[in-house]
Structure 1
Amino acid sequence: VVLLDGLVACGVPEVVVPEAERLRMAVLVHLPLGDETGLDPAVAADLDARERAVLRAVPAVVATSDWAVRRLVAHHGLDPARVHVAAPGADISPLAPGTDGVSRLVCVAAVTPRKGQHRLVEALAAVADLPWSCVCVGGLGHDPEYVGQLRSLIARHGLEERLVLAGPRSGTELDATYATADLMVLTSYAETYGMAVTEALARGIPVLATDVGGLPEAVGRAPDGGVPGILVPPEDPVALAAELRGWFGEADVRRRLKAAARGRRAALNGWAATARSLAAVLHRLPDEPREAA
């Protein structure tokens, strides 16, 4: 049995497909390769074809959400019986005390076009009269050109003192960042799930995010049906700004979202559940390798 990361396997069918006749393989797909934002159409089409060849050749594909399963089945014409879910876990952490209960915003995402931080900047510029501060945590080395454009946009709106690109943080430093958060914000163009969302909810932090991909699943619901976040249409900084203004202006909204976030926190599945889901897929692999399609 061989478990392969799709970020590697899906780009090299010439390596993987012949081995499907020898090995019992499963491929874990984080994000379809051709879905990466900003790719040249020809590059995206080539990655798409490579990924399709790999996923059709292996006996099991593992995705990170029900939405991602539907996307892979429809896009690549896969047998639904061979595509499985193993949603990322979120181990419950101490409740975040926050700052003042309203004004500290945190975004945790690599600074890339797919994560759409420029939309967050535009929305925050539209509510510059409100007393917010925002820290964006995430790697700055993936797309230096985009980072440069983002810094220019922040400067153009005069937000340098209020919106900080902090770079990557992990461990206790990331924990400390979450501890100060009153609201998690995420403006992605595409997400197969949204681990940063569940990491925030695991600390009782409400979420404001774009309604794309698997993010609605990550936000989820508390056991009593309460929704611990607000989802806005993609490509709509105006809607994002309106929800931010509502967050600041409506104490009842904040109370409802915080209560739902705490309820969702208690119901989150940890990484042990993810491991069990993945183990079940591997356990059910056929005894013999399948013939490549």
Structure 2
Amino acid sequence: MPAGRLTFLYPGRLETPTGGYVYDRELLAALAATGTQVTALTLGEGYPAPSPATLEAGAALLAGLADGEAVMIDGLAFGVMDAIAAPQAQRLRLIALVHHPLAHESGLPPARAAELAASERRALALARHVVTTSPATAEAIITGFGVPSAKVSALEPGLVLPAPPVARVRRPGEPFRLLSVGSLVPRKDHPTLLAALAQIDDPAVTLDIAGSGEFDLAHAASVRATIERLGLSRRVRLHGALGRAALDALYAQADLFVLTTLYEGYGMAFVEAMAHGLPVIATGAGAVRDTVPPAAGILCEAGDAASVGAAIRRLAEDAALRQSLAQAARAHAQGLPGWPEQARRLAALIAEIGR
């Protein structure tokens, strides 16, 4: 098999507006720029709970690939593809891409989480190599799923560093603008952020939330109801999923980035915020405390609305502290790798697996 070829299989639509799909798109584009021949194919909708027909189509797709092909499969699908991947594992060079283990998604019933953990363990055992999006996720795969460390690599997202931020000077009477970026799903825990904002009796402290409400319609409706119940409808704006230019504009207008997530496999929104020179308030397990250094923000415990509210109040009142954190955030982002560097690492891994 030529070392410079990869077939990438993904669930749903590659243009889906989430951090995981941004990772996929950017990495594939950068990989193609290295000269690697990349073919990206969809596995269909419904993952990680695909219909029998979708799984059957996925099995046919795998069976149609040439012997020895390097095949990277996004973990949102691969974690439940154990049965259809097993017959092809000897002849294909399977590479799993794990953003975070499926069983670590928040809000899953215990029985479903156990089912996902078992299927993902079986699937990962079939892979020649596992690529994760952070060292924390790599450690979770090694310790929690029994994958040998020699078969696991962390390939963090690359960063497209924006132009140096222009310091925002707040004039008297202007709002103090918080920004949060994340889909309206349970894992992002917007209710904790809204409860924290409700503790701050200052209408000048406002919140912009950018993120799709289409992935969990019931939860998105609950978030909207919470905004109304807490009397925050004039202070919170839900923007939905935004394109790059509109999202960059929100970063430029913000004074502070806040994301009260429960768990992140990496946390691309935190890095984007730091790259835009924003101080950060963060919560959550997984890779969060690796992604956000203490010099760049304030880290609170997940679900602790009181601590998040106190951190918002402290940074709103202390311009010098905001500036210090903002400078450290931008400096940290400047030291992170770009997509070309990460694509070269993946190309080298594909070549090694090819040998």
Distance 2:342 2:276 in 1: 19
Alignment of 1:152-231 (within 5 A): 152-220=225-293, 227-231=295-299
**Does residue 88 of the first structure (1) align with residue 145 of the second (2)?**
no
Q: Which amino acid aligns with 2:308?
A: L
**Does residue 26 of the first structure (1) align with residue 99 of the second (2)?**
no
Secondary structure of residue in 2 paired with 1:285: helix
Taking structure 2 as the reference length, what is the TM-score of the superposition? 0.76
Distance 2:154 2:345 in 1: 7
Cα deviation digits, residues 131-170 of structure 1 (max 9, x gap):
2111100001111111111111111111101111110101
Taking structure 1 as the reference length, what is the TM-score of the superposition? 0.91
Identify the match of residue 137 of structure 1 among 197, 206, 210. 210
Relative to structure 1, is the Cα distance of residues 100 and 17 closer, same or farther in structure 2, using a 3 angstrom cutoff?
farther
1:281 shift after superposition: 2.3
Distance 1:99 1:148 in 2: 33
1:203 shift after superposition: 1.5
Identify the match of residue 346 of structure 2 among 265, 278, 289. 278
Secondary structure of residue in 2 paired with 1:129: coil
Q: Which amino acid aligns with 1:89?
A: G
**Does residue 251 of the first structure (1) align with residue 311 of the second (2)?**
no
Partner of 2:300: 232
Distance 2:182 2:251 in 1: 13
Cα-Cα RMSD: 1.6
Alignment of 1:6-21 (within 5 A): 6-21=75-90
Contact 1:2 1:26 in 2 (8 A): yes
**Sequence identity (%):** 36
Contact 1:6 1:29 in 2 (8 A): yes
Q: Which amino acid aligns with 1:25?
A: L
Contact 1:96 1:178 in 2 (8 A): no
Identify the match of residue 146 of structure 1 among 219, 222, 226. 219
Contact 1:232 1:239 in 2 (8 A): yes
Distance 2:201 2:91 in 1: 60
1:130 shift after superposition: 6.1
Gaps of 5+ in 2: 1-69
1:265 shift after superposition: 2.9
Distance 1:46 1:98 in 2: 49
Distance 1:186 1:276 in 2: 31
Cα deviation digits, residues 216-264 of structure 1 (max 9, x gap):
222237xxxxx11211111211111111111012233112101212212
Distance 1:253 1:32 in 2: 36
**Does residue 77 of the first structure (1) align with residue 168 of the second (2)?**
no
**Does residue 128 of the first structure (1) align with residue 197 of the second (2)?**
no
Q: Which amino acid aligns with 1:125?
A: A
Relative to structure 1, is the Cα distance of residues 82 and 11 closer, same or farther in structure 2, using a 3 angstrom cutoff?
same
Contact 2:263 2:284 in 1 (8 A): no
Partner of 1:290: none
Partner of 2:64: none
Distance 2:332 2:204 in 1: 28
1:36 shift after superposition: 1.1
Secondary structure of residue in 2 paired with 1:31: coil
Distance 1:130 1:216 in 2: 31
Partner of 1:106: 179
Gaps of 5+ in 1: 222-226, 288-293
Distance 1:162 1:208 in 2: 19
Q: Please say which of residues 60-69 and 37-46 is displaced more in the overlay.
A: 37-46
Cα deviation digits, residues 98-144 of structure 1 (max 9, x gap):
65458111111011100001100000001132621111000011111
